[in-house]
């Protein structure tokens, strides 16, 4: 497999764009960040005419695969009458009505363009509503790249002494933001209780209800329920960051699976089948702080015609195809089973966690991973990166962080080819 054209384009890009890419995570791809010319269904084709079965799927959004016809047709039709209107459309109202049908709890909603943006307005609302300044986030969780939240998503875990210290994940982050964030270990309710005894000025606790960013870790039984109780006891708003899990793990997201009601929830990724849109859903009494003048939120591209059209088509499809998630998870489970079998055949220790629609493959001898520190201390990430290189050479595109995203376009043939590629790759490790 040759990558000559991608390498040439990458060298050109580096002369114009810092690192040659427009997202830091892409810079570490092997052999270089690939340049693509087309993507349809489960497949992508690069500029060297290499075809790959894709499990990156936009890092999650492409739940139907690449360029599904029912979305592209809807977007094309709607944009003929304009697209950046900076105003409302009837379809936006219809989208909100679809949302109301999908979410398990009664909510008002607000739209933006990215998950990072929508988290910021959620935290702003929490501060205004509670009149408290700090918020608590969990180690290993990711809530966007803004200064206020980019702490302890991938911290050094060599010392237990740093467990609760806010550690900035980038240079240039405002030092003042560290005073506004409290860090806690996830999936440990007793540790959280002790932290809340010390801090009485926390406006919100924000959490990925399923730890999406570091492995794909499910909450311990009763953890989210106890988290809800603690927030009630301390007058703290509970925010579920469902940017990754929303409309992917179930129609109603992780909230539907676990039956726990947050005060605010953030959504993006799978909501529009690959188009950029984000949504905040919250209790009316909190959300109304944006209508009474207390909290400001804006954006020229919010509810642009293309994104609304894509989200409208996505939710319409999901609402009218009740077996969608059952089928998606079934195919994912078949793939997981096959990967485990060929790893065992070659005496390779792996752990696969998550759900059929999204899962994480770890090179580890642990039977389970419960939090970020389990992941950071026990997963051989270098071995996974080598595995992902071998898989690419065998025609399978994986994210280098270990998370796999299924789509409804992945069929049994794709799964069989993927399992065979994994067997060949395991044999070379």
Of residues 424, 370, 366, 373, the one with CA closest to residue 394? 424
**pLDDT for res 293:** 83
Would you kindly state where each structural domain of the chain is located, as residue ranges? Answer: 4-67+322-428, 69-319
The model carries a pTM of: 0.96
Q: Does 4-67+322-428 carry CATH code 3.90.1150.10? A: yes
Mean pLDDT, 10 residues at a time, over the chain (429 residues)? Answer: 97 96 90 97 98 97 98 98 93 97 95 96 97 97 95 83 81 94 96 94 98 94 98 98 97 97 98 97 96 90 96 98 96 98 97 97 96 94 97 97 97 98 97
Tokens representing residue 420 in the block: 């065979």
**CA separation, residue 345 to residues 338, 341, 359, 427 (Å):** 11, 6, 21, 9
Strands (E), 180-227: 181-184, 202-207
Q: What is the CA radius of gyration of the chain?
A: 21
Order of strands across the sheet with 358-362? Answer: 351-355, 358-362, 403-405
**pLDDT for res 164:** 78
**pLDDT for res 3:** 98
**pLDDT for res 339:** 98
**pLDDT for res 25:** 84
**pLDDT for res 240:** 98
Q: Which residues are catalytic?
A: 142, 241, 269
Tokens representing residue 140 in the block: 């290993």
For the domain covering 69-319, report its CATH number. 3.40.640.10
């Amino acid at each position: 497999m040759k990558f000559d054209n991608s390498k040439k384009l990458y060298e050109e890009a580096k002369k114009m764009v810092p690192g040659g890419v427009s997202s830091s995570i892409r810079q570490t791809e092997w052999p270089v960040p690939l340049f693509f010319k087309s993507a349809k269904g489960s497949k992508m084709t690069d500029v060297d005419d290499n075809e790959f079965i894709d499990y990156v799927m936009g890092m999650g959004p492409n739940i139907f695969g690449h360029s599904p016809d029912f979305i592209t047709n809807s977007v094309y039709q709607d944009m003929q009458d304009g697209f950046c209107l900076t105003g409302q459309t009837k379809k936006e109202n219809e989208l909100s009505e679809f949302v109301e049908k999908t979410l398990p709890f009664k909510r008002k909603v607000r739209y933006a363009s990215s998950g990072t943006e929508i988290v910021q307005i959620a935290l702003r609302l929490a501060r205004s509503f509670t009149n408290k300044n700090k918020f608590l986030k969990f180690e290993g969780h990711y809530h966007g790249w803004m200064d206020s939240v980019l702490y302890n998503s991938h911290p050094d875990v060599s010392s237990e002494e740093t467990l609760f210290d806010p550690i900035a994940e980038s240079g240039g982050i405002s030092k003042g933001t560290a005073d506004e964030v409290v860090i806690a270990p996830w999936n440990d309710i007793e540790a959280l209780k002790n932290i809340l005894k010390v801090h009485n000025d926390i406006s919100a606790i924000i959490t990925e209800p399923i730890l999406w960013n570091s492995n794909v870790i499910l909450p311990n039984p009763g953890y989210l329920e106890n988290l809800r109780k603690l927030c009630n006891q301390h007058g703290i708003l509970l925010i579920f960051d469902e940017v990754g899990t929303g409309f992917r793990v179930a129609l109603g997201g992780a909230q539907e699976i676990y039956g726990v009601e947050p005060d605010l929830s953030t959504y993006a990724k799978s909501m529009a089948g690959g188009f950029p849109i984000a949504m905040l859903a919250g209790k009316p009494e909190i959300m109304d702080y944006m209508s009474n003048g207390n909290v400001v939120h804006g954006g020229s591209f919010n509810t642009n015609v293309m994104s609304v059209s894509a989200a409208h088509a996505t939710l319409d499809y999901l609402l009218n195809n009740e077996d969608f998630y059952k089928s998606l998870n079934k195919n994912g489970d078949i793939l997981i089973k096959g990967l485990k079998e060929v790893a065992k055949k070659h005496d390779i220790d792996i752990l696969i966690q998550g759900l059929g629609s999204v899962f994480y493959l770890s090179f580890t001898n642990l039977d389970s991973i419960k939090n970020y520190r389990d992941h950071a201390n026990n997963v051989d990430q270098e071995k996974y990166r080598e595995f992902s290189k071998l898989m690419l050479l065998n025609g399978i595109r994986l994210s280098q962080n270990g998370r796999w995203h299924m789509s409804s376009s992945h069929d049994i043939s794709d799964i069989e080819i993927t399992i065979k590629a994994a067997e060949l790759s395991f044999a070379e490790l």
